[in-house]
């Protein structure tokens, strides 16, 4: 007995020490992994018969879950808990299952207990325990313990999300401040100096330098907290070497370099040694995929630039690129920019080189001359839709519910063929009610007739006629419950197969039917071209569904009213197909129609839109 007591005392002391160590790690963890392990160990100590435990968490910005902690041995293989963990993640609810199976646990049987940990409707973690045999009440107690302990993890997730949100807000605030500082000045050098001063203070740097690209190299133009400097000094030369390295490779370079960085960054290493700085980071300032400058950050005593600071600096370089490019361009003036562009073009065209450019210019001149002299048909193009000459609509005759859909869009129907049926059960009940009421009124009329009560007979006769009218109306509505085709044709629109049981209102369009013969073509002509069209003009039509067939058309009617279509004014022009319709032609087909309106040169046809726009613009600007 004494030996058993000593063993129990030793085990109790070991548990106490382990729990104390876990509380120490949980209270002041070095990182999230240590906190997760301590939390799992403390929870396992409060669950009776706990054998092993597994904690799964999801990293920020990812969807997959990974093992965050395992108890009691992190190296132990706990894959046998994977089935319950998978069920918890899929169902997002607590799971109690027998060990090695999917069925619920029974009394005096080992069980696996899993519990999800959610915050704001989003699953962030899951914990799974292997619990030894015992009464079922212990399993309920285990779930309660996990539920209560999950508050610590939820608080940890909430703090992490809050920290990420605050970091994102701080990052956005920095971007806004830097951009606002850059836009305070209209010239690039004052803007760069203000940005360098701002970044030096916000990023904890001893010096921030800005260099701008010129003739294939980067020249430092400003340094933070420095009004002027000698561009021929060693400091400027060493900074220029580091900036040229970034210009050559086009990516951010830092020293000391990250462990996974394979660039080498020899120029930065030499510059850091000569400048006697502990850390240096240079990022490109880019505009339209071109490096127009370099930002260099220096820290005399460290710490080195981490991945977050590197990404932040790269984003700042991308953000400042368009601003400084615009400021550099504005400094040159309009005539300076135009003269440079003209000078470069003339030099390329008239210089000794660029034979391909000269050949291209000659070919362009010959092509323009040919297109100005060659005359061809001038045709107005328009989007077209094929419609039936007579198109009928089948609408709901009364309010009701769809009982049966017999056809759908694209089906060919015969005259009188049922298209759909509405539910007529209510109508038949109403018919039965009016029939019964007519029988009652008829009997009452007969009694009044037998009694010789002429006044009652007159009233009852009027009521009988009223009931018969209601019966006739019910019969009429029952007969109209089945919608039929008015003629042989094709169903252009309407599909009620997915709306069985859905309510419909009186007059709601259910089907559109067009005849199989007799088509018209509707052209949507732009208002700039409508003045050139006239009746009896001919043209051609090509449909998307029949791209290999060219159909002749003739203009029959021009609608005098314009409508808005896709942000432009168009006029509806009706045309007819002047030959027998092909077998595959169907109403609703779309294509492109071209109507011949005269003879013009190719150059005039290609440039008429631009010329018309210039004429209208000049006329609107002219006082």
Q: Is residue 410 part of a domain?
A: yes
**pLDDT digit string (tens) for 279-300?**
999 999 988 888 889 999 999 8
- Kindly state whether residues 207 and 89 are assigned to the same domain: no
Retrieve residue 593's tokens. 């129609």
Q: How far apart are CA 45 and CA 68, in angstroms?
A: 18
Mark whether 79 and 196 lie in a shared domain.
no
**Are 491 and 441 spatial neighbours (Cβ–Cβ below 8 Å)?**
no
The per-residue pLDDT for 347 is 65
Residues in the chain: 623
CATH of the domain at 308: 3.30.450.40
CB contact at 8 A, 378 and 605: yes
Domain that holds residue 579: 518-621
Is residue 249 located within the same domain as residue 128? no
Q: Provide the pLDDT for residue 513.
A: 75
| Residues in the chain, pLDDT under 50 | 1-12, 14
Considering the domain boundaries, does residue 49 fall inside one?
yes
CA angle at 187 for the pair 186 and 189, rounded to the nearest 5°: 140
Domain assignment present for 178: no
Residues 308 and 404 in one domain: no
In a domain, 277, yes or no: yes
CA 542, CA 524: separation in Å to the nearest integer?
A: 15
What pLDDT was estimated at residue 30? 64
Q: How much is the pLDDT for 14?
A: 47
End residue of a domain, out of 311, 331, 351: 331
* Residue owning tokens 């009223």: 466
pLDDT for the residue numbered 455: 80
Q: What are the pLDDT digits (tens) for 300-309?
A: 887 888 888 8
Do 201 and 100 sit in the same domain of this protein? no
Helices (H), 203-333: 234-249, 266-275, 307-332
Q: Could you tell me if 501 and 525 lie in one domain?
A: no
Q: Do 453 and 579 sit in the same domain of this protein?
A: no
Q: Which of 508, 467, 492, 498 is nearest to 588 (CA)?
A: 492
Element (H, E) at 61: none
State the pLDDT at residue 23.
Answer: 65
The answer to whether residues 307 and 450 belong to one domain is no
In order, the DSSP letters of 1-53 are: -HHHHHHHHHHHHHHHHHHHHHHHHHHS-SSHHHHHHHHHHHHHHTSTTEEEE
Angle of helix 425-451 versus helix 454-479 axis, rounded to 10: 160
**pLDDT the model gives residue 19:** 58
Instruction: Judge if 78 and 137 occupy the same domain.
Output: yes
User: Do 189 and 310 lie in a common domain?
Assistant: yes
CATH number at residue 396: 2.40.50.100
- Residue 378 is encoded by which pair of tokens? 């001038």
pLDDT for res 368: 83
Instruction: With respect to residue 173, please indicate whether it lies within any of the assigned structural domains.
Output: no
Same domain, 307 and 398: no
Q: Which of 466, 492, 512 is where one domain is finished?
A: 512
- CA dist 268 and 242 (Å) reads 5
The answer to whether the predicted template modeling score (pTM) of the entire model surpasses 0.85 is no
Dihedral sign from CA coordinates of 307, 311, 316, 321: positive
CATH number at residue 617: 2.40.30.170
Do 201 and 82 lie in a common domain?
no
Please state, in angstroms and rounded to a whole number, the distance separating the CA atoms of residues 29 and 22: 10
Residue labelled with tokens 């009364």 = 398
> Residue 477 domain-assigned?
yes
Q: Is residue 487 part of a domain?
A: yes
**Residue 176 placed within a domain:** no
* Total count of domains within the chain: 4
Q: Which of 512, 528, 551 finishes a domain?
A: 512
């Amino acid at each position: 007995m004494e030996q058993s007591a000593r063993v129990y005392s030793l085990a109790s002391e070991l548990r106490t020490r382990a729990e104390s160590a876990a509380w120490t790690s949980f209270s002041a963890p070095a990182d999230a992994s240590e906190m997760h392990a301590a939390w799992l160990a403390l929870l396992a100590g409060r669950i009776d018969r706990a054998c092993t435990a597994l904690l799964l968490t999801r990293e920020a910005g990812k969807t997959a879950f990974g093992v965050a902690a395992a108890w009691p041995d992190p190296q132990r293989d706990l894959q046998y808990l994977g089935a319950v963990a998978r069920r918890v993640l899929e169902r997002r609810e607590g799971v109690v299952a027998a060990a090695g199976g999917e069925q619920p646990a029974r009394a005096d049987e080992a069980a696996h207990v899993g519990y999800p940990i959610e915050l704001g409707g989003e699953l962030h973690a899951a914990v799974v325990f292997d619990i030894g045999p015992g009464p079922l009440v212990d399993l309920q107690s285990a779930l309660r313990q996990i539920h209560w302990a999950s508050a610590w993890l939820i608080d940890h997730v909430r703090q992490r999300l809050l920290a990420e949100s605050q970091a994102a807000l701080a990052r956005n605030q920095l971007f806004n401040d830097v951009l606002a500082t850059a836009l305070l000045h209209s010239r690039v050098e004052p803007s760069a100096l203000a940005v360098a001063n701002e970044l030096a203070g916000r990023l904890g740097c001893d010096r921030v330098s800005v260099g701008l690209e010129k003739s294939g190299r980067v020249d430092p133009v400003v340094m933070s907290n420095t009004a002027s400097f000698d561009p021929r000094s060693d400091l400027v030369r060493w900074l220029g070497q580091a900036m040229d390295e970034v210009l050559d490779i086009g990516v951010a370079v830092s020293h000391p370099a990250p462990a996974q960085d394979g660039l080498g960054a020899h120029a930065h290493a030499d510059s850091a040694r000569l400048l006697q700085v502990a850390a240096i980071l240079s990022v490109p300032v880019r505009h339209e995929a071109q490096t127009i400058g370099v930002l260099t950050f220096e820290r005399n005593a460290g710490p080195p630039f981490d991945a977050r600071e590197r990404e932040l600096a790269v984003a700042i370089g991308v953000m400042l690129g368009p601003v400084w490019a615009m400021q550099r361009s504005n400094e040159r003036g309009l005539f300076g920019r135009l003269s440079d562009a003209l000078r470069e073009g003339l030099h390329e065209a008239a210089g000794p080189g660029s034979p391909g450019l000269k050949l291209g210019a000659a070919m362009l001149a010959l092509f323009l001359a040919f297109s100005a002299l060659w005359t061809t048909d001038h045709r107005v193009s328009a989007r077209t839709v094929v419609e039936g000459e007579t198109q009928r609509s089948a609408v709901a005759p009364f309010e009701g519910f769809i009982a049966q859909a017999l056809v759908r869009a694209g089906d060919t129907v015969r005259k009188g063929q049922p298209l759909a049926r509405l539910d007529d059960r209510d109508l038949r009940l109403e018919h039965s009610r009016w029939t019964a009421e007519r029988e009652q009124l008829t009997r009452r009329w007969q009694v009044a007739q037998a009694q010789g009560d002429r006044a009652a007979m007159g009233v009852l006769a009027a009521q009988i006629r009223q009931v018969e009218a209601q019966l006739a109306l019910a019969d009429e509505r029952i007969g109209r419950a089945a919608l039929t085709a008015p003629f042989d044709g094709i169903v252009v629109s309407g599909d009620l197969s997915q709306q069985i049981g859905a309510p419909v209102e009186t007059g709601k369009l259910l089907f559109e039917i067009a005849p199989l013969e007799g088509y018209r073509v509707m052209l949507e002509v732009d208002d700039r071209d409508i003045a050139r069209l006239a009746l009896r003009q001919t043209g051609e039509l090509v449909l998307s569904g029949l791209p290999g067939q060219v159909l002749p058309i003739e203009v029959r009617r021009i609608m005098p009213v314009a409508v808005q279509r896709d942000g432009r004014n168009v006029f509806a022009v009706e045309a007819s197909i002047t030959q027998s319709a092909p077998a595959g032609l169907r109403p609703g087909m779309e294509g492109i129609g071209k109507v011949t309106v005269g003879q013009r040169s190719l150059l005039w046809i290609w440039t008429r839109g631009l010329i018309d726009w210039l004429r209208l613009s000049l006329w609107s600007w002219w006082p």
